[in-house]
Structure 1
């Protein structure tokens, strides 16, 4: 009877409405109890039901509070029932967005069986199981403490081997790349990936068309680009061009991640200016993305433009494509991330021709001054840098002063952030220099004539 009931619940739990009814009917503690049953033909449908219900955020919390994670981890080692292991891994995959759940998986010893299943060649014959396992590794790796244990299990090497052997399964590849991205946030794993010859496989994945995969690949290559030796390999494989081509993708998430990945790629390239100019239509493409309705795309594109603009020839090209007006059109944003990178883009775009003057004339100064009232220190840092570059123009200094920027700059000078201090002090110096010149001119004009002059 228990077996029949759990199989019935498993069948009806495909409906999100039914999941809500099941929660209200007290199914959670019952399923938690069934997980501990000695009858595996009851446990399997019970875990299958939990796996399907785990799509619901409320049920994820219930799984955590009812202490199901320990039992789910225990069943991961039940080799006689591959389907049971799959549903256990799927549940961990879905629930591990929560930091507490990730910690519970580690404390229950769940990372070891997950990596062992990914390492075991038999699992490669069961693609749904492998997808669930790699997805669980990906999400649990979001916690640094879990990455520490995964490193001990040589997880990066295991994931690279999967890249070689499951090229036809895009879902598994997407999860593997996501897991690598989390692991490579730690510098030592970048060299591990390079030694395992994983970078060519990652660059090759840029030719795929599966959107979730294309969201993850640029992010892991972004981490690789922070390593000088890895960046040389990416350049040799023409990886930067392939990442740049993703800016044409229809998915805003792919566009945003590609633009975000370009930042370290441009910064650490051997000759970034020449490399970027070699991409036919590349600069026009990235400038046109400033018309995107997606805020995250705009923020990531602004970050990339800030790097592009450090080369004066590239800055001249994007200026011709109207980058100044497009950046000014965005200054009214309330989004913190966009404000941070928009200010950085404006700062580095001031170096060409009359751009600095045009930013002032088009009304960018006053909104930027208001950015200094934000609580985010990253916004303060890039905004102070933008104001410093804009203050090279006397009329901009007047606008800043009238906007009350001096109070914010004096406060910024007293912080412990060296870059913020330097930019704020430079801006204050330019404003003060203009004020002294104005006072000198005023004194000359109002100085009374001498007696000799009166005689003459």
Structure 2
């Protein structure tokens, strides 16, 4: 029997898995395949998603909803080249959707996409990576990420690539980046200008247009312009413009030129290389068929060049005015509009103003004011505003071309730009009196009221108020403006927050206040209080506010006396002057009409001097008359006692039917007549003042000793007058007992009417006095020589006619208690 052998156990054989052909008809299944570990499956799945997304926006949204985007973004960095390529294709295709773009920003995909711009990557990877970035680079945050991840060098390198799709996408990214100032400088420093200039000559128009648009934004930066000059960029752009076959892109090219000549260094280079002459020639000799558009851009370019004084001189030397005048009559509203803007800018140069007039440009521009195109009309009136500034001859030329009527009509239009430039032009013309009168015949003063009420821009308010100040030099202009209701909106401008508007409003008020009627209404509207507030503020005070207040008070002496307490010898009172007493700063000074309408109160009476004839339609009160002039002293005393007895009667006089205007004060009128007869016959000024002082003292109760002033019952007398007249307003002629303030006012009113110079000063506690200037007395036996004039206070109370040397104890005692 043989040896038993152990049987070996056989291991089962391992068979490989047979490849399974797979076909899916739902995108959800393909999205699940993105999780497969097999490169071939991933590559096919990414490509299938790319093809599905290529078919429309709904498919992109469907893929986003199925969660395809996160794994796709991960596969962008896959080790397998095919997977990377197909994944970036799918992401690039999907990125065009708005919702997908938002999701990509959250996934922070930009660093991974920028890595795909390296030279070792395939062209198709570059294409879809740049396509993805062109969509994302619209957003500011994404632009920052692109620059922070050093995407600019890769983009600049791709600009010189052979593939036009990559180039187009790269240009779109670059255009989005150069919208921000830091990226412009960085692009110039990294050498981005030469490839852009090369692409201007590309065979693809869309690439040419994108390159020109980038250069336009790029040359807005000073440093980028320097880099542009170093590579002869201007010469290349000008050569491009001179190519007639590329006329459809000349507009974009001219915008680059406009930026290039914005600074002095670039312009000098342009001038030295003959580029300025070539630019001006474009205005007249532009190639067809894009003639109007190119001429418009060329005129716009010239307007930008002419922003500096040095450039305007150079342009004038090249006779740019002739070229621009030719464009004013060219075809196309855009060309004419651009030409008007260029004319407005060039007209800052004084010599150019004269040149435009000699070329009859003003007649052409005036005709454009009636054009149907609003933009053209705005540009035309802007040109006229510039042409007539500081040029009387040009202003006269506008009037000769019948431009006044159209300009006045523009004041009633809603456009603030039209109103602003039309008012500025009229203001320039109104500096000449003949033109000012012709402007007013078209109702310009009333036409300014509407813009004052409805103007919404600061510039329009500035020009309208300037125009008003120029026109209001004429009395009938002030009257027309006042009747049209222009004063209320003008006064409201005093409260403007804009400093220049307040200043111009003060200027206009200072001119309008040159007559009493306007001044009174301005005060009624609160102009005086507003001006006081402005002048008291160190921040709001301006060079016209004090002048406006002075003019306002100078034309309304009643208000001036209440506010300042002083009337100079040059302040000549007229009929209607009244003394309502002092007013506190900031309080409103009431008009005589308002005071007349008040009920009788316990306040001091308002004395009014009015010798004018009674206006028709008004019934006067029975005024106390002075029939004793020229009688003997005894007869005068009897008349005075009779008047006192009449005044003690408690029966009031019948009231006026109307209290405004004030009735004629016949008693005051007789005092004026008597003063004229007794004072003007005297040659010596001293005798004139003494005689007038005694006349005033006699009329208001005679001399009163200082220690017996308390026995002079003037308060009771004035109260009786107020009661009898049923009014707080009392005519000065009806007063028979008055003290310092009453006599000083009467002295001033009589002196002004007979031509005797004196001032009126208000003190405290009912004190007031008159100051006069007289030459010093010549010593007996001394040779006659001119004597210095000295100031005297006229005594009207205690020793009527005494002239008290100012600042002496006697004068001080008279002026104070």
TM-score (normalised: structure 1): 0.79
Instruction: Quote the residue 2:225 is aligned against.
Output: 106
> How much is the aligned-residue C-alpha RMSD, in angstroms?
3.9
Residue 150 of structure 1 pairs with residue 267 of structure 2: yes
Give the CA deviation at 1:79: 7.0
SS of structure 2 residue aligned to 1:442? strand
Give the CA deviation at 1:328: 0.1
The superposition leaves residues 213-244 of structure 1 with CA deviations (integer Å, 9 ceiling, x where unpaired) of: 32321222123223232222211211111122
Instruction: Quote the residue 1:442 is aligned against.
Output: 578
Residue 117 of structure 1 pairs with residue 239 of structure 2: no
Residue of structure 2 aligned with 1:406, choices 531, 543, 548:
531
Instruction: Quote the residue 2:482 is aligned against.
Output: 360
CA distance in 2, matches of 1:208, 1:6: 48
CA distance in 1, matches of 2:510, 2:228: 53
Structure-2 change in CA distance of 1:217 and 1:50 (3 Å) = farther
Q: Which runs of 5+ in 1 are unaligned?
A: none
Residue of structure 1 aligned with 2:450, choices 329, 351, 359:
329
Structure-2 change in CA distance of 1:137 and 1:232 (3 Å) = same
Instruction: Quote the residue 2:255 is aligned against.
Output: 135
More strand by share: 2
The superposition leaves residues 379-438 of structure 1 with CA deviations (integer Å, 9 ceiling, x where unpaired) of: 24432321221111323323444233313652699889xxx52x3333222122234355
Instruction: Quote the residue 1:298 is aligned against.
Output: 419
State whether residues 420 and 464 of structure 2, in contact with CA within 8 Å, keep that contact through their aligned partners in structure 1: yes
Residue of structure 1 aligned with 2:298, choices 176, 180, 197:
176
The superposition leaves residues 193-231 of structure 1 with CA deviations (integer Å, 9 ceiling, x where unpaired) of: 121122111110001243333232122212322323222
CA distance in 1, matches of 2:517, 2:395: 31
Q: Once structures 1 and 2 are overlaid, which stretch shifts more, 361-370 or 201-210?
A: 361-370
Instruction: Quote the residue 2:399 is aligned against.
Output: 277
Rg larger for? 2
Instruction: Quote the residue 1:160 is aligned against.
Output: 280
List aligned pairs for 1:364-379, cutoff 5 A.
364-379=486-501
CA distance in 1, matches of 2:701, 2:390: 68
Considering Cα pairs closer than 8 Å and 6+ residues apart, tell me whether 1 or 2 has the greater RCO.
Answer: 1
State whether residues 35 and 46 of structure 1, in contact with CA within 8 Å, keep that contact through their aligned partners in structure 2: no
Q: Which runs of 5+ in 2 are unaligned?
A: 1-88, 90-121, 562-572, 580-606, 610-695, 703-734, 738-817
State whether residues 77 and 113 of structure 1, in contact with CA within 8 Å, keep that contact through their aligned partners in structure 2: no
SS of structure 1 residue aligned to 2:514? coil
More helix by share: 1
Structure-2 change in CA distance of 1:445 and 1:202 (3 Å) = closer
Structure-2 change in CA distance of 1:350 and 1:270 (3 Å) = closer
State whether residues 124 and 166 of structure 1, in contact with CA within 8 Å, keep that contact through their aligned partners in structure 2: no
Structure-2 change in CA distance of 1:249 and 1:111 (3 Å) = farther
Structure-2 change in CA distance of 1:112 and 1:128 (3 Å) = farther
Give the CA deviation at 1:140: 5.8
TM-score (normalised: structure 2): 0.47
CA distance in 1, matches of 2:433, 2:287: 41
State whether residues 413 and 425 of structure 1, in contact with CA within 8 Å, keep that contact through their aligned partners in structure 2: no
CA distance in 1, matches of 2:395, 2:140: 63
Give the CA deviation at 1:111: 8.3
Aligned residues: 434
Structure-2 change in CA distance of 1:65 and 1:200 (3 Å) = closer
Residue 256 of structure 1 pairs with residue 392 of structure 2: no
List aligned pairs for 1:26-45, cutoff 5 A.
29=146, 32=152, 33-37=154-158, 38-42=160-164, 44-45=167-168
Q: Once structures 1 and 2 are overlaid, which stretch shifts more, 298-307 or 428-437?
A: 428-437
State whether residues 222 and 264 of structure 1, in contact with CA within 8 Å, keep that contact through their aligned partners in structure 2: yes
